[in-house]
Amino acid sequence: MSRVGVFVCHCGENISATVDCEKVAVVSGELNGVAFSTDYKYMCSDPGQTIIKEAIKEHKLDGVVVAACSPRMHEPTFRKACAEAGLNPYRCEMANLREHCSWVHPKEDATTQKAIDIVRTLVEKVKTNNSLLPIKVPVTKTAVVIGGGVAGIQTALDIANCGHKVIMVERQPSIGGHMSQLSETFPTLDCSQCILTPRMVEVAQHPNITLYTYAEVEGLDGFIGNFKVKIRKKSKSLDEKTCTGCGLCTTKCPQKKIPNEFERGMGNRTAIYVPFPQAVPNKPVIDREHCTYYLKGKCKVCETVCPTKAIRFDQEDEIIEVDAGAIVLCTGFEVLKPDFFPEYGYGKYKDVIDGLQFERLASASGPTKGEIRRPSDGEIPKKIVFIACAGSRDPAKGIEYCSKICCMYTAKHAMLYKHKVHEGTPYIFYMDIRAGGKMYEEFVRRAVTEDDAKYIRGRVSSIYEKNGKLIVSGADTLLGARPVEIEADMVVLATAGVANPGAEELAQRLHVSYDAYKFFAEAHPKLKPVETNTAGIFLAGACQAPKDIPESVAAASGAAVKVAALFSNDELTREPLIAVVNRQAPPVYSTCVGCFLCESVCPYQAIEHEEIKNRNGEVIKTIARINDGLCQGCGTCVALCRTKAIDLQGYTNQQVYTEVIALLNE
Amino acid sequence: MKIGYYPGCSLTGGSKEYHESVTALAGAFDIELVQVPDWNCCGSTAAHNLNKTLSLSLPARILALAEKNGISEIVVPCAACYNRLTMTQRELNHDKNLRSEISELLGMPLSGKTEIFNIIQFIQKYISPSLPEKISKPFEFKVACYYGCLLVRPQKEVLFDRPEDPRSMDDIAAAAGAVSVEWPFKTECCGAGLTMSKTDTVARLSGKIVLEAVERQAEAIVVACPMCQSNLDMRRPEINKVTGRKLDIPVIYITQLLGLAVGLSKKELGLQRHFVPFRLEPKAANTSAEKREEVKANNLTEA
């Protein structure tokens, strides 16, 4: 005879507002096999857990049902409490009264009845629960950091400085990310490159960090502590060890008119190129799409001029597999593409540019050497119109969120412009100014009071070119929506920050969840901001949502601590909720007949072949065995097994039938 | 082939030439336009400002009549009528209860499956594919394509072209030999129905459009809406007063442009009915369409 305890939680008012918790407790107490039942306002609180622990001891409970929230929320909490009271933690089950009942139904008798039904099925299940023992697995103390922007750099350095190995994978030929493109940073106006490049160099020189640039993560296998990461090192057509980075090849390359991605198309580069002077590593790659040799089979000028003979035209992509215990996603963001704004002529008029292009214009290393000159004719613009929220907070454009960084960088742009072109006038169209942050509001004020930025609250409806000027028409909503028309020389759009084009594909490859905007999803918006829903995979920076530099860096250090904490263990404990193949006494040994259908469907390659031998060492039978390190407990093999030889611990066929039957037998 | 046709009030009154050119153009492509029998007013701006049920019932009756007469596809050249019919169809298909209410009110079944075409969509589907071989007098002039508001808005409902910078009419004009100028006022407001009550406002708004087209070196403004046409054309004396210029750029329908290109006469297309005289003379192509294709193919092989 079982002795089950039922503990009904009110969850403040989350459950008790629509469910009669006291009644649930009373009715549950009368169920067959229930030795004790009670209700309490916050079962997850310390006093709540104490109630459970004491009841286990006092009533000698052999099973516990906590009727509260989703097991995703508090199952670990209550299982731990049970373990502390001496009960095997896997004899504790959660009845989800909150997400599955109280939140989705109105206050009425039927809702309470449903809650009772849910508790009843779990009581029946818990009676058939077995004591399970956790599985121990080793931890590979190496982290793979995907993305080498400021978030990736900070994460890698923090983990490496804790004494752990880090492998950084960057898609571009250099690390640095968007931050390396910026001119100056808000709210201090310190030079972006000056604060970032030392960090980039530190990454390259750190003994614990291995850097793979021009490389992408192709695949991921395994689980927390024991990932296998497949990395494609794209061919740079270069022997990096021989190359000294002298740069002679880049000066001699005949392909000189390729739009420079780093300059956002405002300058040109060669086919063999280093993306920018401070690049790390400071060695070139050949862009095969534009290289004359790869297009026409002739040229090889770079090979001829190379003093160390480092060019390798026949080099192929290399795929390597590395072991890692944790992965941190720091893949960053992108800004909206030009065809998003037909009304602003972005992509049609040369002098309508985006914020990142303005950064390059203002940058000392940019295409104009830091002078603000407009792209069409190189003239110094006398009037620049900045448009904040270009795409952001605009349901019609499908981007309902605030891109967060634009208010600040637009104020910065206005200041930089004024500092460089004293007679110029910056106009800023805005919706609201969102300047929450240390010294942020003061910074925006400074733009207005000291640098004469003219803020106009309203939206721009259209921009068109006329006689070399850009006619910007909008409304000033603080003057009763009076129409405003400004003849500008240049327009800068603070285009919305969006997820990287490859984000969705990467998320699917790594099995991490993402939101409707394709930003990676954190495990909990408040309490687990740097974790993903997949154990062992963390995230930091703007791949999660638009973030500024301080926020990205803070998140990066947060993620690094999570990784370091994981690596502080030599072994990890895994939930034993995995599949097992039954074993019986000879001569049957197991009902498994060795058909290995399970092997073909297992998504985690967890099925092994086990040979059963007699005393003479002869193989009598070959049956399936589940690798408890690889099995994720998905249950696909259980469903497919023809002889019912496989079962899922914690969710056995028997347990599921019991639950169903309990629901049917009212 | 036959296809349903809803002219609406404008095409039988002030914009007769639109009706004439649509029918003539269709005829030149062996398409017979079958008017929806016993059609009524679409409700226009008045109905949906005053009475919701009426604003849905009027277009719904037209659609129900089309269904009753076996018309599965219907061309609606007037942009306002097109807008009302499309919006009604969409709203009723979205709300099944409302649809049965309206259907009951009309005493007619309404499945909401009629396909509604504006003139551009009609041209794209039925004219454009065989246009190249029919062109005898390519319309080799610079034109400013003016879409107005109702053809492309509200975007979420009409789901046609890009509301801020539409291209569809430009592409059609180009296919007929015209050079469409790049200009910013493709969807600016012409003043619409204020033409009677606030003529000066219409003169100011339409004047801005006409002047811009002229300054961009266009030789004709091409439209697909009777309201736009009449404001830019009939209000030209007022426009000239406001702008202080003598603007004589003609305002023609896209159907008239295509009609001329395929060799229809000005009279057949009703071009003599415009207030601003249409004086452009498309010239017959030196070579036949086949010959042109041949030359083009030769050029390509040489290149």
pLDDT at res. B294: 60
User: Residue B287: what pLDDT?
Assistant: 57
Cβ contacts of A342 on chain B, cutoff 8 Å: 162, 164-165
Q: Could you tell me the CATH number of the domain that includes residue B99?
A: 1.20.1050.140
Q: Judge whether A383 and A488 are in contact, CB under 8 Å.
A: yes
Taking CA A499 as the corner, what is the angle to CA A494 and CA A500, rounded to the nearest 5 degrees?
105
Best residue of A348, A349, A466 to probe chain B, by most B CBs closer than 10 Å? A466
Contact: A464, B184; criterion CB under 8 Å = yes
Query: For A380, which DSSP code?
Result: P
Provide CB contacts within 8 A for A637, sequence distance 6+. A579, A598, A601, A602, A607, A624, A626, A646
Do B62 and B171 belong to one domain?
no
Q: How many Å lie between the alpha carbon of A396 and the closest alpha carbon of chain B?
A: 9
With beta carbons under 8 A apart, name residues in chain A contacting B185.
464
Q: Is residue B158 part of a domain?
A: yes
d(CA A376, CA B291) in angstroms, rounded, equals: 41
* A587: pLDDT strictly greater than 70: yes
Measured between CB atoms, which of B164, B182, B185 is closest to A342? B164
Q: Give yes or no for a contact between A313 and A293, defined as CB atoms under 8 angstroms apart.
A: yes
The answer to whether B241 faces chain A, any CB pair under 8 Å, is no
- Closest listed residue to residue A130, CA positions, set A92, A93, A75, A91: A91
Top CATH class, A579-648: alpha beta
Sign of CA pseudo-dihedral A650, A656, A657, A659:
positive
> b/e map of A144-162 (b: 16 or more CB within 10 Å)?
bbbbbbbbbbbbbbbbbeb
Domain chopping of chain A, boundaries = 4-132, 142-234+317-332+500-567, 248-305, 334-498, 579-648
Q: Do domains A4-132 and A142-234+317-332+500-567 have the same CATH topology?
A: no
* Stated pTM of the model: 0.79
Residues B187 and B221 placed together within one structural domain of the fold: yes
Domain limits at B93? 2-119
Distance from CA of B206 to the nearest CA of A (A): 17
pLDDT in tens, A356-403: 999 999 999 999 999 999 999 999 999 999 999 999 999 988 899 999
Q: When comparing pLDDT for A99 and A340, which is higher?
A: A99
Instruction: Kindly report the nearest CA distance between residue A301 and chain B, in angstroms.
Output: 29
User: Which CATH number do you get for residue B169?
Assistant: 3.40.50.11810
CA distance B185 to chain A (A): 9
Residues of A in contact with B162 (CB under 8 A): 342
d(CA A342, CA A9): 55
Tokens of A617: 């060492």
- For B36-58, how does the pLDDT look when each residue is reduced to its tens digit (9 = 90+)? 999 999 998 888 889 999 999 99
Residues B241 and B258 in one domain: yes
Successive 10-residue mean pLDDT values, chain B, 303 residues: 94 94 97 96 88 94 95 96 94 94 95 95 96 94 95 85 91 95 93 91 95 96 96 96 95 97 96 95 72 57 48
Provide the shortest C-alpha distance from residue A343 to chain B (in Å): 5
Residues B21, B119 contacting (CB under 8 angstroms): no
Cβ–Cβ contact B70 with A under 8 A: no
Last residue of a domain, one of B49, B84, B119: B119
Note whether residue B281 is domain-resident.
no
- Token pair of A269, please? 């580069």
The answer to whether residue B165 neighbours chain A at the CB level (below 8 Å) is: yes
- The one-letter code for the residue type at A425 is T
pLDDT at position B303, please?
44
B220 and B192 together in one domain: yes
Query: B154 in contact with A at a CB cutoff of 8 Å?
Result: no
**Domain membership flag for residue B266:** yes
Query: Does the beta-carbon distance from A465 to B164 stay under 8 Å?
Result: no
Asked if B184 is an interface residue toward chain A (Cβ–Cβ < 8 A), one would say yes
How many Cα atoms within 13 Å fall on the side-chain side of residue A574?
23
Residue B13, domain member (yes or no): yes
Bond before A254 cis per omega within 30 degrees: no
Considering Cα of A445, then A450, then A451, then A455, what sign does the dihedral take?
positive
pLDDT of A237 higher than 90: yes
Interface mutation target, options A462, A472, A485, chain B, most CBs of B under 10 Å: A462
- Please give the structure tokens belonging to residue A245: 């980075």
Chain pair A-B, CB pairs under 8 angstroms: 18
Instruction: Specify whether the CB–CB gap between A464 and A315 falls below 8 A.
Output: no
Mean pLDDT of chain A: 94
User: For the residues of B70-127, what is the DSSP string, one character each?
Assistant: T--EEE--SHHHHHHHHHHHHHHHH-HHHHHHHHHHHTS------EEE-HHHHIIIII
Tell the burial category of A530 from Cβ atoms under 10 Å away from its Cβ (0-12, 13-18, 19+). Answer: buried
The answer to whether residues B129 and B114 belong to one domain is: no
Tell me the chain B residues in contact with residue A462 when contact means C-beta distances shorter than 8 Å. Answer: 164, 184
Which chain A residues have a beta carbon less than 8 Å from that of B155? Answer: 396
pLDDT at B292: 55
Q: Percent of chain A, pLDDT > 90?
A: 89
Instruction: Name chain B contacts of A471, Cβ cutoff 8 Å.
Output: 184
- Cα(B9)–Cα(A18) distance, integer angstroms: 59
Continuous H helices in A62-191: 71-84, 109-127, 150-161
Would B103 be classed as within a structural domain? yes
Question: Is the CB of A461 inside 8 Å of chain B's CB atoms?
Answer: no
User: Chain A closest CA to B188's CA: distance in Å?
Assistant: 10
Residues A491-550 pLDDT 10s: 999 999 999 999 999 999 998 999 999 999 999 999 999 999 888 999 999 999 999 999
3-state DSSP call for residue A441?
A: helix
Burial per residue of A245-264, b for 16 or more beta-carbon CB atoms within 10 angstroms, e otherwise? ebbebbeebebeebebebbb
Q: State mean pLDDT over A98-124.
A: 96
Structure-token pair, residue A488: 């500008």
The whole-angstrom separation of Cα A544 and Cα A515 is: 9
Residues B139 and B263 in one domain: yes
- Decide: B158 and B85 in contact? Cβ < 8 Å: no
- Structural domain includes residue B298: no
* Chosen CATH of A142-234+317-332+500-567 out of 3.50.50.60, 3.40.640.10, 1.20.1530.20, 3.40.50.620: 3.50.50.60
Residue B146 included in any domain: yes
CA distance B136 to B261: 6
Indicate if the pLDDT at residue A649 is higher than 70. yes
C-alpha to C-alpha distance for A522 and A514, rounded to whole angstroms: 8
Q: What angle do CA A529, A534, A540 make, to 5 degrees?
A: 35
With contact defined as beta carbons under 8 Å apart, do B74 and B66 qualify? yes
For residues A448 and A427, give the distance between their C-alpha atoms in angstroms, rounded to a whole number. 10
Domain A334-498 adopts which CATH fold?
A: FAD/NAD(P)-binding domain (3.50.50)
Angle at A200 between CA A193 and CA A510, to 5 degrees: 115
Per-residue pLDDT reduced to its tens digit, A3-40: 999 999 999 999 999 999 999 999 999 999 999 999 99
- Tokens 């009727």 locate to A67
Residue B286 domain-assigned? no
A591: pLDDT confidence band, cut at 50, 70 and 90?
A: very high
In this structure, are B225 and B211 located in the same domain? yes
pLDDT in tens, A395-424: 988 899 999 999 999 999 999 999 999 999
- Whether B210 and B236 map to the same domain: the answer is yes
Four-way CATH pick for A4-132: 1.10.490, 1.10.4100, 3.40.50, 1.10.3470: 3.40.50
What is the reported pLDDT for B283?
A: 87
Number of domains in chain B: 2
Phi, psi at A534, each rounded to 5°:
-100, 120
Q: Domain check: are B194 and B248 in the same one?
A: yes
Predicted confidence at residue A656, as pLDDT, reads 93
- Position A362, amino acid: A
Structure token pair of residue B166: 């539409």
How far apart are alpha carbons B303 and B298 in whole angstroms?
A: 9
B144 plus B27 within the same structural domain: no
Between the alpha carbon of residue A330 and those of residues A157, A527, A538, B70, B119, the distances in Å are 13, 19, 9, 60, 50
Fill in the amino acid letter for A278: Q
